[in-house]
Amino acid sequence: MDRRAFLGTMAGSLLAAPAAAEAQQAGKVYRIGYLAGWSRQAHDYELERALGRLGWILSQNLHVEYRWTEGKYERYAPLAAELVRLKPDVIVAPQTAAALAAQKATSSIPIVMVFIAEPVGLGLVRSLARPGGNITGTTLWGGWEIFAKQLQLLREVAPGVSRVAVLWNPANRPAHALVLKSVDAAARSMWIDLHPQGVQTRDELEAAFATIVQAGAGALLEISDVLFFTHRARLAELAIRSRLPTMVGLRQSVEAGGLMHYGSTSSEMLQRAATMVDKILRGADPAVLPVEEPTKFELTINLKTAKALGLTIPPSLLLRADQVIE
């Protein structure tokens, strides 16, 4: 952890530590297993800081075992099994593939999922209100309406678009297959024709964009994925070259050159996840902790990318944006 993140964690921890100490076994160091698809990111620091505000202090009463797949889907299962062998008190899974791998690896260790799409449809929980097993956490979207909003925003910046390409990863099946159904439901409600385009490796990206352009798509919607996040700068470059206004899967991808993102905020989801971890470490049963949906959605726009695409962002849209990158 860098010095600023460490100091932020400690500052919050000092305020919350007395209350947490009352609920913890004296002298015990609790262990969290963390399985993620990419190398250490700001998300990890956010989770540590959120836990620190709840009294969980690294190297004092908390230890985190991190495992990263480096974008390789075949590594989720063995790394999940490795974490389970360490017998952590909780496993945190900040991607759908991580949650599915953790679910297969254990039915007894509590799992807190974060940024998960369609957790009921994927069989991770029985219902959002009453998960019913060893998994709870947060879901990324509240329904297909989020995609209708994303498609509407694409139309606002590119009026007249009738065909939208959807970038998805077949390696992330069945999660992306379920998300595609939701995107399709949103598109049909708006009379938009979809062109799903599967991509599994970085080497396939350039050919995929050529196919998208040939198919006559006037815009692109990207489903959030480890592959696309890892190569977000390359995706932004290809989208600009292909003259495709793009709704990217994560806000960080706008910072890397993507046109815009509309979705839940990572800070809110991680704070909620930390609260759930805290409750479970204090003895709560994940089976009865409701899965939480986002309450806040943010719009981020990259004006530099808009200019490169030859687009003029409507002033009304800029006024609604939570962040504008110039």
pLDDT per position as a tens digit, 245-266: 999 998 889 999 999 999 988 8
Q: Is it the case that residue 108 has pLDDT exceeding 50? A: yes
Q: Residue 39 and residue 64: Cα distance in Å, rounded? A: 15
Q: pLDDT at position 257, please?
A: 97
What average pLDDT does the segment 198-203 reach?
A: 94
Choose between 160 and 197: higher pLDDT: 197
* Domain co-membership, 98 together with 36: yes
* Domain co-membership, 319 together with 258: yes
Q: Is it the case that residue 66 has pLDDT exceeding 80? A: yes
What's the pLDDT band for 7 if we cut at 50, 70, 90? very low
What's the pLDDT band for 15 if we cut at 50, 70, 90? very low
Pinpoint the alpha helices (H) of the chain.
3-23, 42-53, 76-85, 96-105, 145-157, 175-189, 205-214, 226-230, 232-241, 251-255, 266-281, 303-309, 315-320
Q: Comparing 13-17, 101-105, 138-142, 191-195, which segment has the lowest mean pLDDT?
A: 13-17
Q: Residue 201 and residue 223: Cα distance in Å, rounded? A: 15
* Domain co-membership, 156 together with 203: yes
Both structure tokens of 115: 């940024």
Q: pLDDT at position 40, please?
A: 67
| Sequence letter at residue 197 | Q
Nearest residue to 55 (alpha-carbon basis) of 89, 26, 15, 87: 15
**Cβ atoms of 69 and 34 closer than 8 Å:** no
Chain centroid, CA 61 distance in Å: 28
Q: Residue 201 and residue 204: Cα distance in Å, rounded? A: 5
What average pLDDT does the segment 260-276 reach?
A: 90
Q: Is it the case that residue 217 has pLDDT exceeding 80? A: yes
What's the pLDDT band for 178 if we cut at 50, 70, 90? confident
**% of the chain surpassing 90 pLDDT:** 68
Q: Residue 289 and residue 135: Cα distance in Å, rounded? A: 9
Q: Residue 220 and residue 259: Cα distance in Å, rounded? A: 10
Q: pLDDT at position 14, please?
A: 40
What average pLDDT does the segment 130-140 reach?
A: 94
* Domain co-membership, 34 together with 99: yes
* Domain co-membership, 99 together with 125: yes
Q: Structure pTM?
A: 0.84
**β partners of residue 31:** 63
Residue with tokens 């808009």: 306
Q: Is it the case that residue 174 has pLDDT exceeding 90? A: no
* Domain co-membership, 218 together with 184: yes
Q: pLDDT at position 145, please?
A: 81
Q: pLDDT at position 23, please?
A: 47
* Domain co-membership, 34 together with 86: yes
The C-alpha angle 221, 224, 229, rounded to 5 degrees, equals 105
* Domain co-membership, 99 together with 161: no
Q: Which helix (H) or strand (E) holds 63?
A: strand 62-68
What average pLDDT does the segment 136-145 reach?
A: 80
Both structure tokens of 59: 């190297």
In angstroms, the Cα distances linking 245 to 19, 70, 219, 306, 323 are 49, 28, 5, 8, 17
* Domain co-membership, 290 together with 187: no
* Domain co-membership, 125 together with 8: yes
Domain total for the chain? 2
Q: Residue 177 and residue 112: Cα distance in Å, rounded? A: 23
What average pLDDT does the segment 306-324 reach?
A: 95
Q: pLDDT at position 47, please?
A: 87
Choose between 18 and 264: higher pLDDT: 264
Q: Residue 169 and residue 140: Cα distance in Å, rounded? A: 17
| CA dihedral sign of residues 135, 136, 142, 147 | negative
Choose between 267 and 43: higher pLDDT: 267
Choose between 121 and 325: higher pLDDT: 325
Domain that holds residue 239: 145-264+298-325
Query: What CATH number has the domain bearing residue 53?
Result: 3.40.50.2300
Q: Residue 148 and residue 171: Cα distance in Å, rounded? A: 25
* Domain co-membership, 128 together with 197: no
Q: Residue 320 and residue 307: Cα distance in Å, rounded? A: 19
* Domain co-membership, 62 together with 73: yes
Average pLDDT along the chain: 89
Residue with tokens 């590594």: 75
What's the pLDDT band for 26 if we cut at 50, 70, 90? low
Q: Is it the case that residue 24 has pLDDT exceeding 60? A: no
What's the pLDDT band for 25 if we cut at 50, 70, 90? low
pLDDT in tens, 228-244: 988 999 999 999 999 99
SS3 content of the chain, % helix, strand, coil (to 5): 45, 20, 35
